[in-house]
Amino acid sequence: MNNAIDNALEAIRHANPVPDPVDLADAMLRSDVFLTATKETSMNIDTNQPTHETAPPTQSGSRRNVLALVGAFAVTVVVVVGAAVLLASGDGGEVSPAATSEPVSEVELGPVTSFENIAGTTYEYQGLGQVGYLHFFEDGTYHWSSNRDLVEDRPTAIYETRFEGTKIFVTQTKGICLGMGFPDSTYEIHLLENGNLEFVAIEDPCALRLSTMPGEYAPVP
């Protein structure tokens, strides 16, 4: 009976072995050492972890901020001054002729003293019941014709002129008054405000010329 019990207990011990007390104590000691080492490693990691603190602004950063403010102020001043110039110029910023450096040439009104400003142009008579055209040349001559297409190349009359002050001494080199013995006459030419020319007779012995020459003429486009 006792042998059977001993055999059963031996079989149970083999099926569920119990660790030796010495081995168990050693395992527990190793576990404590592992936990301690793990805790120390964790503390070292926390201690060595770099911190992210915000660095105080440096002197160069402050200087950049000041320069940025100065630049913004300068831009504002330029914009204000530019707007003032545009308003002062008027008409959407267009500069008036008085503000330009180039002089503005103006044709003086009143008696003409040369053909400089009217040379190369054709004028049409503006009176009633008469048709006539005048064309002026740079050499001081002018032509007269009742036909616009012929006044330059095939005129009815040709006149050479000589200026003395505001007076024009006219010598006819082609036309009916030349054949009548009245080649010379004296006139004045006035520039009017509307851009027209006015022939004013000072002295003319030819009645036919007096009936066709004096009067107002408008420039032909």
pLDDT over 80 (residue 17): no
Stronger pLDDT, 97 or 7, i.e. the higher one: 7
E strands present in 38-183: 110-111, 122-125, 133-136, 141-145, 157-164, 167-174
pLDDT over 60 (residue 150): yes
Structural domain includes residue 169: yes
pLDDT over 70 (residue 135): yes
Name the DSSP letter for residue 107.
P
Taking the C-alpha atoms of residue 134 and residue 141, their distance in angstroms, rounded to an integer, is 10
Structural domain includes residue 14: no
Expressed as residue numbers, the domain containing 185 is 110-219
Helix (H) or strand (E) holding 5: helix 2-15
Token pair 């003395």: residue: 164
Confidence of residue 1 (pLDDT cuts 50, 70, 90): low
pLDDT tens-place string over residues 72-99: 545 454 444 454 444 455 554 444 444 4
Q: How many domains does the chain have?
A: 1
Structural domain includes residue 155: yes
Please give the share of the chain, as a percent, with pLDDT higher than 70: 51
Structural domain includes residue 181: yes
Query: Residues 167, 188: contact at Cβ < 8 Å?
Result: yes
Structural domain includes residue 123: yes
Structural domain includes residue 30: no
Residues 6+ apart with CB under 8 A from 199: 187, 188, 189, 213, 214, 215, 216, 217
Mean local confidence (pLDDT), 161-180: 94
Domain CATH code at residue 121 = 2.40.128
Query: Residues 85, 99: contact at Cβ < 8 Å?
Result: no
Structural domain includes residue 137: yes
pLDDT tens-place string over residues 34-85: 445 445 545 554 445 554 455 554 555 555 554 555 455 454 544 444 544 4
Stronger pLDDT, 110 or 217, i.e. the higher one: 217
End-to-end CA distance of the chain: 154
